[in-house]
Chains A and B, each alone.
Chain A
């Protein structure tokens, strides 16, 4: 079984100011896999996702994502990934629809992709409303719609379920499931262990800036 790793991180150290948020983290993810990052607050889960997206520089160690070595180039792989962080990347004065369309077009996708992603996350009613007027849950849906509108090969989500109502969670899980079926690679952090298990995600524990279970040894991969 030839494994083509989409993500391979070895002994990565990343700094937030002077604090080593990641202190020797290892992670390997194959194409089409779904990985769940578990662990307490402040363990470095979000920093690991931001490292994968190239937003955080690598202090030491090695990091290769989507065939790009992040030590030398943190930008060129971003076009084919999407990150759903704790913030929506939106502009207060723009409406939901124009924020979504701007994000899609910036990733080289069409306005139709944007509207489709918006519809998928139940944003039709919110289209004309200014981002400033959206509630936290609505903004979370907008952020998810923006990520899916980018049609990414690698989908990174930081606690995606947070702030969503029951319907929102159902839609999210369905979207993640179809994403994996479509061959996309998904890495998400969450405290909802039941949701993660239902998605069949491989659990990786992040603790104190390091990972446990980040590397699948060949034997285990063969058995799975």
Chain B
């Protein structure tokens, strides 16, 4: 039984959680901000989907 390697386990989980958490947060915030500009422009600019090729 290789005891005392909880340190590595904690290190592994903490860093992974930090990386994934940061990425998910960036996505969520980005989406909220993009939706805000999308709606704001949507009201005056008028929602128009041009025909993408």
User: Are A and B in contact, CB atoms below 8 Å, in the complex?
Assistant: yes
Query: Interface size (B, Cβ < 8 Å)?
Result: 2
Is A60 located at the chain interface by the 8 A CB criterion? yes
CA distance A59 to B51 in the complex (A): 9
Nearest-Cβ distance from residue A191 to partner chain B, whole angstroms: 33
The digit string for B24-53, where 1 denotes a CB below 8 A from any CB of A, is 000000000000000000000000000101
- Secondary structure at chain B's binding surface: helix, strand, loop or mixed? loop
Which residues of B sit under 8 angstroms from A60, Cβ to Cβ?
51, 53
Number of A-B pairs, beta carbon distance below 8 Å: 4
Q: Which of A57-89 contact B (CB under 8 A)?
A: 57, 59-60
Number of interface residues, chain A, beta carbon within 8 A: 3
Q: Which residue of A lies closest to B53 (CB)?
A: A59
The minimal Cβ–Cβ distance linking B51 to chain A, given in whole angstroms, is: 6
A57–B53 Cα distance when bound, in Å, is 10
Q: How far is the CA of A57 from the CA of B52 in the complex (A)?
A: 13
Q: Looking across the interface, which residue of chain A has its beta carbon closest to that of B50?
A: A60
Q: Min CB distance, B53 to chain A, in Å?
A: 6
- A35 → chain B, closest Cβ, in Å? 27
The docked-state distance in angstroms from the alpha carbon of A105 to that of B53 is 35
Q: Closest residue to B51 on the A side, CB-wise? A: A60
Q: Could you tell me which residues of chain A, from 2 to 26, have a CB within 8 Å of some CB in chain B?
A: none
State in angstroms the CA–CA spacing of A60 and B53 once bound together: 7
On chain B, the residues within 8 Å of A57 by CB distance are 53
Q: Which of A129-184 contact B (CB under 8 A)?
A: none
Q: For A71, give the chain B residue with the smallest CB separation.
A: B53
Which chain B residue shows the least CB distance to A58?
B53
Min C-beta distance of B48 to chain A, whole Å: 14
Q: Which residues of A contact B53 (CB under 8 A)?
A: 57, 59-60
User: In the complex, what residues of B have CB within 8 A of residue A59's CB?
Assistant: 53
Instruction: Give the CA-CA distance A206 to B53 in the complex, in Å.
Output: 24
Distance (Å) between the CB of B13 and the closest chain A CB?
A: 45
Rounded to whole Å, the gap between the CB of A188 and the closest CB of chain B is 29
4 residue pairs from A and B, CB less than 8 Å apart: A57-B53, A59-B53, A60-B51, A60-B53
Q: Which 4 A-B pairs have the closest CB atoms?
A: A60-B51, A59-B53, A60-B53, A57-B53
